[in-house]
């Protein structure tokens, strides 16, 4: 797995955070640089930490995972990607509110980064630097979430479902690539 693969996975993983950032920006109304930074920081930090936790969990069962790495990677990424595609069919944003306090952001960051835990388990089966990967995923998610707040204040929720659909498709394609050993 290359660093480009990790970046592409990071883009796919960040689409949930992007969608929530758009929804939060709708509640905020006008673009607020401070809130955009806070939202990006929370989502980026958790998307970066979860693969590290998954990686260390994966090393505990590394014998099984390394033997079936392609299949495990495909199944996990397919499951995550198909879930994102299903979520993309939901038109409404829900009630995310404009609040960016610790309790609200912690819940949103954990909810949008659980799938990154599974990706970390997948990384444990490959020759991947988990720290570089986590940094790439965190930075990518920070930037995309920050951008989501900006886009949401300009365009509304027009791109929320498309982002989740694209993110799901990206993860499934990467899973197929790993399954086929390409």
DSSP 58-112: HHHTHHHHHHTHHHHHHHHHHHHHHHHHHHHT-----S--S---HHHHHHHHHHH
Inter-helix orientation angle 102-123/33-60, to 10°:
40
List, for residues 19-41, the tens digit of each pLDDT value. Answer: 888 878 877 778 889 999 999 99
Please, which pLDDT band fits residue 81 given cuts at 50, 70 and 90? confident
Q: What pLDDT, on a 0 to 100 scale, did the predictor assign at position 51?
A: 95
d(CA 90, CA 62): 37
List, for residues 57-67, the tens digit of each pLDDT value. Answer: 988 877 666 67
Q: Is the pLDDT score of 94 beyond 60?
A: no
Instruction: Please state, rounded to an integer, the average pLDDT across all residues of the chain.
Output: 82
Q: Using the 8-state DSSP alphabet, how is residue 2 labeled?
A: -
| Its pTM surpasses 0.85 | no
Residue with tokens 């033997």: 67
Range 137-152 average pLDDT: 94
Q: Parse the chain into domains and list their residue ranges.
A: 3-180
Q: What pLDDT, on a 0 to 100 scale, did the predictor assign at position 114?
A: 83
d(CA 140, CA 31): 20
């Amino acid at each position: 797995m290359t660093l480009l693969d990790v970046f592409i996975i990071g883009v796919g993983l960040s689409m949930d955070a992007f969608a929530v950032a758009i929804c939060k920006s709708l509640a905020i109304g006008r673009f607020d640089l401070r809130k955009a930074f806070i939202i990006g920081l929370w989502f980026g930090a958790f998307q970066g930490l979860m693969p590290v936790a998954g990686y260390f969990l994966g090393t505990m069962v590394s014998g099984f995972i390394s033997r079936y790495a392609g299949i495990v990677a495909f199944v996990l990424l397919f499951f995550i990607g198909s879930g994102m595609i299903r979520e993309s069919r939901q038109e409404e944003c829900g009630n995310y509110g404009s609040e960016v306090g610790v309790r609200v952001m912690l819940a949103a960051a954990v909810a949008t980064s659980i799938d990154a835990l599974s990706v970390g388990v997948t990384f444990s089966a490959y020759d991947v630097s988990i720290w570089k990967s986590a940094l790439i995923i965190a930075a990518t998610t920070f930037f995309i979430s920050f951008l989501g707040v900006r886009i949401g204040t300009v365009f509304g929720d027009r791109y929320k479902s498309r982002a989740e659909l694209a993110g799901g498709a990206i993860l499934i394609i990467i899973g197929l690539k790993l399954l086929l050993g390409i």
